[in-house]
């Protein structure tokens, strides 16, 4: 068992849920509780035998996955399994041969997916069972989030949680009847082995197929009813004040006072929660609850930045912490975390003025620029948690990131002058970052003993306390520690690197455009805004089909750094449109280049055409044609590690209404929020981003208009003033005086706003009424942040 699994005797697998508080009523999610190896079924199954050990001889004859582009599918291309990609060929074979489909879903940087591949899918005997008695289908959840969501809904509804790898058995008509997550290859005292499960299902399919089919149909019908999200007979969404209050109270109850965050363990960053708390603070800042919300968010961000979940040597954040102290992480790094956390730390800087937060935001983007960026402007998906400790050895989780005391002392042997006791740079470094000779990873987090004597860097003391401990000045200690980090970074370059998932996803690239645009705007750094611009150009050049107006979901890094696509292309899902539109709106506000706003409007029109539910309201996750054959067409109703695309769309519609005045956008937003009324009422804490949109819709959106030349210094000063203040419910508009410009055509009232004495002039407009003209950035700041 890996040190990064849940504690012994609990569930293995990459977690589905992301650290909402206990009592959030999401009983089907592993957010609330870990569990034993999950096997969910619609019929009982008899006992079975023990599995065999994996074959130690690698199978070098490729299966048909060798022709795929997905890094995850290619990882399985040499399994002794007759794998099919998701598609009609596999479905036809299952129907023709009357076999159940074995569907296995994961992603390329998933630790427990690697474990199951090594233990089970490389096993010759298990491979024969899968090839002879099932039609085996492999899916990259990041390529096909629609397939993942449908069958994860089944697994969560019929068991105590969900996660990856997700393994589900389907009828030839794609209806699920048994599901689970990670299975060990062999039976244990409390766990059923994968081989046993396969034998049981094979027997059931032969002897009780009709019962399986009937039960599968019943479960599917129940899931259809349970997953329906519709306006129904409701006329309006619920009260924002009530939903806000309930969401805050549920977060307050689950808050970890000492270490921040909202769960015991595992503990996820969940930027959507931090974003909600900042918005709640702004609208309640004169109350005790408002101060509490700000403190909860800022303390959580500080504890995360000081913890081992942050890579202090190479920057960026790992996916989650295995403990409540943010100390020992699950080491994979996801693009979507970097994107959202850059925004969260930038907002924390706006609110607090503390450069600690802006430094963290810059560090995150430094990591993305260095390690997750394609030369043409796009962004890669993730870096793996596993890597070989030395070349030619078996990969271990965290091997790239951990340190022994001896390694650090050898790298930093220099004596520290002026200390009150004999001291080397290594000893100072170890004290500050909590390193010990015996290692700082407990045996409970390392059941296999793979990390004995190893350390995860975590800030244990402030610079002031470390300096005082050794009688040194603070700036001297800062310099010594930074020098030490740089030496460790250079030494780490010689280690085998973790696998890079170089697949590029439109949705996550959209989030990253936001990350660079917002941080660049808040910090006044044009270089970061340029990275956002290059990301948007990449999306338009490589992930947009001009003829149909549609986004493509994926593209891939080819040989020599070229960009490749699958054939046929994988078309975009709702989240691709929603996250890219958000990125483009953020980029317009950061750059004032109206071409990005125009493209955002066109993409929103396409999103409405492809995904809008004209009967029930809200957006489906996938196109009707793309999801043909799937038993469910879902609307995502949970803000987790990534926000729900419906939540983001609600915000986008409000902003587009502010930019254009088109009533259709506002009507759609109200309809969407009304459709999700029941979900918000029942568990508002599961939809903090949507509750935030609800609040924005029921408040008045500010249109902040700057009349001036985009490149003029006085215009830039007013724009930077706006960006320095935390105002989530606003649109920033540049009016350059050209009556034929895109925005002038959308908003005729802009032609009535004039520059005062030929200076750049700001107006703050609400409810079709504008403030007096302002030319002084200090006066504008007072008006925006009274």
pLDDT at 149: 94
pLDDT at 46: 37
DSSP strand pairing (730-735 vs 563-564): unpaired
What does the pLDDT look like over 278-301, one tens digit per residue? Answer: 999 999 999 999 999 999 999 999
Can you give the three-state secondary structure of 381-436, one letter per residue? CEECCEECCCCCCCCEECCCCCEEHHHHHHHCCCECCCCCCCCEHHHHHHHHCCCC
**Per-residue confidence at 60, pLDDT binned at 50, 70, 90?**
confident
pLDDT at 39: 54
| Domain residue limits, the chain | 64-227, 401-494, 501-603, 702-784
| Range name among 136-145, 185-194, 420-429, 646-655 with the lowest pLDDT average | 185-194
**Residue 552 DSSP class:** B
In a 13 Å sphere around the CA of 50, the CA atoms on its Cβ side amount to 5
**Per-residue confidence at 15, pLDDT binned at 50, 70, 90?**
low
pLDDT at 40: 56
Q: Taking residues 20-32, what's their average pLDDT?
A: 33
- Structurally, what CATH architecture does the domain formed by 702-784 represent? 3-Layer(aba) Sandwich (3.40)
Quote the CA–CA distance of 453 and 450 in Å, as a whole number. Answer: 9
Q: At what angle are helices 506-523 and 526-542 packed, to 10 degrees?
A: 160
pLDDT at 233: 80
What does the pLDDT look like over 306-347, one tens digit per residue? Answer: 999 999 999 999 999 999 999 999 999 999 999 999 999 999
Give the residue among 170, 20, 8 at the shortest CA–CA distance from 639.
Answer: 20
**Per-residue confidence at 739, pLDDT binned at 50, 70, 90?**
confident
pLDDT at 226: 83
Residue 33 reports pLDDT greater than 80:
no
pLDDT at 235: 83
What does the pLDDT look like over 216-249, one tens digit per residue? Answer: 888 888 888 888 898 888 889 999 999 999 999 9
Q: Which residue has the higher pLDDT, 15 or 151?
A: 151
Q: Taking residues 745-771, what's their average pLDDT?
A: 93
Cβ neighbours of residue 740 under 8 Å, at least 6 residues apart? none
Quote the CA–CA distance of 371 and 500 in Å, as a whole number. Answer: 9
Quote the CA–CA distance of 451 and 84 in Å, as a whole number. Answer: 37
Residue 4 reports pLDDT greater than 80:
no
Q: Are 482 and 359 in contact (CB under 8 A)?
A: no
Residue 627 reports pLDDT greater than 90:
no
Residue 601 reports pLDDT greater than 90:
yes
Question: Considering the entire predicted model, what is its pTM?
Answer: 0.92
Quote the CA–CA distance of 585 and 577 in Å, as a whole number. Answer: 12
- Whole-number CA gyration radius for the chain: 27
The fold for domain 64-227 equals Glutaredoxin (3.40.30)
pLDDT at 184: 93
What does the pLDDT look like over 641-679, one tens digit per residue? Answer: 999 999 999 999 999 999 999 999 999 999 999 999 999
**Mean pLDDT of all residues belonging to the chain:** 91
Q: Taking residues 6-16, what's their average pLDDT?
A: 42
Q: Taking residues 532-559, what's their average pLDDT?
A: 96
Q: Are 80 and 147 in contact (CB under 8 A)?
A: no
pLDDT at 786: 65
Q: Which residue has the higher pLDDT, 447 or 456?
A: 456
Q: Taking residues 610-635, what's their average pLDDT?
A: 90
pLDDT at 45: 42
What does the pLDDT look like over 248-259, one tens digit per residue? Answer: 999 999 999 999
What does the pLDDT look like over 509-534, one tens digit per residue? Answer: 999 999 999 999 999 999 999 999 99
Q: In this structure, what are the phi and psi dihedrals at residue 41, rounded to the nearest 5 degrees?
A: -150, 150
pLDDT at 34: 32
Map tokens 């397939």 to a residue.
Answer: 147
Is it true that 64-227 and 702-784 share their CATH fold? yes
pLDDT at 587: 98
Q: Taking residues 738-758, what's their average pLDDT?
A: 92
Neighbour tally for 756: CB within 10 Å: 13
In a 13 Å sphere around the CA of 167, the CA atoms on its Cβ side amount to 26
Q: Specify the DSSP element, H or E, that contains 705.
A: strand 702-707
**Per-residue confidence at 14, pLDDT binned at 50, 70, 90?**
low
pLDDT at 81: 97
Question: What SS3 state is found at 262?
Answer: coil
Cross-sheet strand order for the sheet of 500-501: 333-334, 382-383, 500-501
Give the residue among 32, 26, 35 at the shortest CA–CA distance from 5.
Answer: 35
**Per-residue confidence at 444, pLDDT binned at 50, 70, 90?**
confident
């Amino acid at each position: 068992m890996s040190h990064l699994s849940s504690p012994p005797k609990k569930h293995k697998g990459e977690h589905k849920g992301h650290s909402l508080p206990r009592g959030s009523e999401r009983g089907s999610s592993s957010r609330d509780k870990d569990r034993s190896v999950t096997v969910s079924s619609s019929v009982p199954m008899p006992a079975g035998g023990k599995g065999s050990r994996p074959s130690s001889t690698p199978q070098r004859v490729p299966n048909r996955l060798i022709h795929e582009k997905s890094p995850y599918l290619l990882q399985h291309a040499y399994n002794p399994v007759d794998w099919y990609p998701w598609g009609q060929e596999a479905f036809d074979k299952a129907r023709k041969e009357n076999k159940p489909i074995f569907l296995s879903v994961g992603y390329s940087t998933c630790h427990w997916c690697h474990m199951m591949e090594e233990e089970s899918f490389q096993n010759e005997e298990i491979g024969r069972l899968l090839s002879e008695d099932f039609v085996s289908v492999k899916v990259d959840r990041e390529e096909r989030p629609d397939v993942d969501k449908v069958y994860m809904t089944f697994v969560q509804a019929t068991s105590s949680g969900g996660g990856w790898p997700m393994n589900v058995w389907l009828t030839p008509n794609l209806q699920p009847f048994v599901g689970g997550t990670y299975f060990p290859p062999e039976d244990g005292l409390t766990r059923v082995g994968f081989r046993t499960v396969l034998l049981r299902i094979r027997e059931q399919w032969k002897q009780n197929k009709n019962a399986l089919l009937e039960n599968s149909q019943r479960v599917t019908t129940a899931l259809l009813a349970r997953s329906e999200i519709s306006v129904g007979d409701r006329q309006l969404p619920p009260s924002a004040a009530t939903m806000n209050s309930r969401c805050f109270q549920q977060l307050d109850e689950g808050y970890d006072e000492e270490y921040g965050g909202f769960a015991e363990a595992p503990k996820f960053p969940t930027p959507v929660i931090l974003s909600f708390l900042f918005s709640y603070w702004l609208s309640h800042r004169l109350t005790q609850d408002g101060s509490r919300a700000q403190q909860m968010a800022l303390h959580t961000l500080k504890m995360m930045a000081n913890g081992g979940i942050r890579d202090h040597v190479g920057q960026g954040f790992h996916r989650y912490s295995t403990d409540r102290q943010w100390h020992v992480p699950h080491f994979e790094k996801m693009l979507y975390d970097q994107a959202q956390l850059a925004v969260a730390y930038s907002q924390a800087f706006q609110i607090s003025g503390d450069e600690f937060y802006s430094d963290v935001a810059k560090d995150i983007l430094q990591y993305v620029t260095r390690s997750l960026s394609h030369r043409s402007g796009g962004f890669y998906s993730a870096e793996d948690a596993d890597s070989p400790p030395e070349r030619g050895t078996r990969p271990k989780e965290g091997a790239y990131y951990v340190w022994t005391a001896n390694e650090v002392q050898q790298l930093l042997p220099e004596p520290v002058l002026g200390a009150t006791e004999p001291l080397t740079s290594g000893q100072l470094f170890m004290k500050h970052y909590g390193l010990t000779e015996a290692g700082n990873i407990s045996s409970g987090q390392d059941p296999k003993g793979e990390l004995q004597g190893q350390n995860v860097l975590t800030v244990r003391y402030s610079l002031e306390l470390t300096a005082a401990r050794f009688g040194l000045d603070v700036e001297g200690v800062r310099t010594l520690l930074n020098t030490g980090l740089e030496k460790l970074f250079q030494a780490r370059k010689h280690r085998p690197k973790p696998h890079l998932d170089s697949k590029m996803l439109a949705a996550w690239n959209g989030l990253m455009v936001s990350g660079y645009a917002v941080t660049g705007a808040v910090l006044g750094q044009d270089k970061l805004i340029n990275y956002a611009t290059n990301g948007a150009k990449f999306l338009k050049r490589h992930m947009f089909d001009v003829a149909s107006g549609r986004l493509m979901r994926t593209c891939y890094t080819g040989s020599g750094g070229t960009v490749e696509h699958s054939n046929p292309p994988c078309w975009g899902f709702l989240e691709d449109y929603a996250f890219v539109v958000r990125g483009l709106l953020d980029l317009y506000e950061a750059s004032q280049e109206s071409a990005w706003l125009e493209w955002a409007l066109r993409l929103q029109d396409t999103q409405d055409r492809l995904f809008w539910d004209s009967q029930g309201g809200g957006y489906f996750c996938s196109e009707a044609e793309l999801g043909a054959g799937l038993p469910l067409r879902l609307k995502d109703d949970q803000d987790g590690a990534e926000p729900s695309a419906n939540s983001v769309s609600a915000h986008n519609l409000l902003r587009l209404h502010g930019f254009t005045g088109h009533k259709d956008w506002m009507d759609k937003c109200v309809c969407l929020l009304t459709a999700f009324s029941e979900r918000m009422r029942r568990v508002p804490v599961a939809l903090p981003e949507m509750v935030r949109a609800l609040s924005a819709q029921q408040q008045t959106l500010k249109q902040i208009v700057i009349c001036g030349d985009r490149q003029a210094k006085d215009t830039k000063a007013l724009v930077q003033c706006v960006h320095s203040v935390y105002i989530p419910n606003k649109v920033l508009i540049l009016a350059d005086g050209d009556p034929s410009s895109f925005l002038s055509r959308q908003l005729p009232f802009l032609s009535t706003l004039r520059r005062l004495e030929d200076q750049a002039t700001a107006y703050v407009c609400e409810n079709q009424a504008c403030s007096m003209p302002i030319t002084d950035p200090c006066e504008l700041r007072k008006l925006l942040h009274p």
